[in-house]
A = this chain, B = another copy of it.
Amino acid sequence: MSLVIVGSVAFDTLETPHGRREKIVGGSCTYCSLAASFFTQPKIVAVVGEDFPEETIELFKSRGIDVRGLEIQSGKTFHWEALYGDDPNQRTTIKTELNVFENFSPQLSPDYTKAEIVFLANIDPDLQGDILSQAKHPKLVAMDTMNLWIKTKPAPLLRVLEEVNVYFANDEEIKMLAKEPNLIKAGKKLLERGPSIIVIKKGEHGALVLGKDSIFGVLAYPCEKVIDPTGAGDSFAGGFLGYLDKIKTFDDEGEIRKASVYGSVLASFAIEDFGINRFKSLSLEDIEKRFSQFKKLVSF
Interface status of A237 (Cβ within 8 A of chain B): no
Q: Does A289 make an interface contact (CB < 8 A)?
A: no
Quick check: is A192 within 8 A (CB to CB) of the other chain?
no
Interface status of A86 (Cβ within 8 A of chain B): yes
Q: How far is the CA of A297 from the CA of B206 in the complex (A)?
A: 13
- Once A205-B202, A219-B217 are accepted as A-B contacts, the answer to whether A224 and B182 lie under 8 Å apart by CB is yes
Say whether A181 contacts B297, CB under 8 Å. no
Residues A217 and B257 in contact in the complex (CB < 8 Å), given A183-B204, A225-B182:
no
Number of identical monomers bound together in the oligomeric complex: 2
Given contacts A182-B224, A204-B183, A205-B205, are A216 and B254 in contact (CB under 8 A)?
Answer: no
The distance in angstroms between the C-alpha atoms of A216 and B299, with both chains bound, is 8
**Interchain nearest-CB distance for A229 vs B (Å):** 12
Q: A202-B205, A205-B202, A205-B205 are in contact. Are A223 and B297 (CB under 8 A)?
A: no
Query: In whole angstroms, how far apart are the Cα atoms of A216 and B206 in the complex?
Result: 14
Whether A254 pairs with B300 at a CB distance below 8 angstroms is yes
What distance in Å separates the Cβ of A249 from its nearest Cβ neighbour in chain B? 14
Interface check A258, CB cutoff 8 A: yes
Contact in complex: A224, B185 (CB < 8 Å): yes
Decide: A184 near B254, CB < 8 A? Known: A202-B205, A217-B298, A297-B215.
Answer: no
CB pair B182–A226 under 8 Å, yes or no, is: yes
B300 and A224 form a contact (CB under 8 A): no
> A300 touching B202 by the CB < 8 A rule?
no
Task: Across the interface, name the chain B residue whose C-beta is closest to A87.
Answer: B181
Is B298 within 8 A of A223, CB to CB?
A: no
**Contact A17 to B222, CB < 8 A, known contacts A216-B297, A300-B254:** no
Q: How far is the CB of A243 from chain B (nearest CB, A)?
A: 12
Cβ contact of A216, chosen from B185, B218, B223, B298, cutoff 8 A: B298
A87–B182 CA distance with the chains assembled, in angstroms: 8
Asked if A212 lies at the interface with its beta carbon under 8 angstroms from chain B, I say no
B183 and A300 within 8 A (CB): no
| Chain B residues with CB below 8 A from A185, complex form | 224
Residues of B within 8 A of A183 (CB): 204, 222
What residue in chain B is nearest A210 (Cβ atoms)? B222
B184 touches A300 (CB 8 A): no
Taking CB atoms, residues of chain B closer than 8 Å to A181 are 17, 86-87
List A107-140 residues whose CB lies under 8 Å from chain B. Answer: none
Tell me the residues in window 165-220 of chain A with beta carbons closer than 8 Å to chain B beta carbons.
181-185, 188, 202, 204-206, 208, 215-219
Q: Is A153 an interface residue (CB 8 A)?
A: no
A-B complex: 4 closest residue pairs judged by Cβ atoms: A86-B181, A205-B205, A257-B300, A217-B219
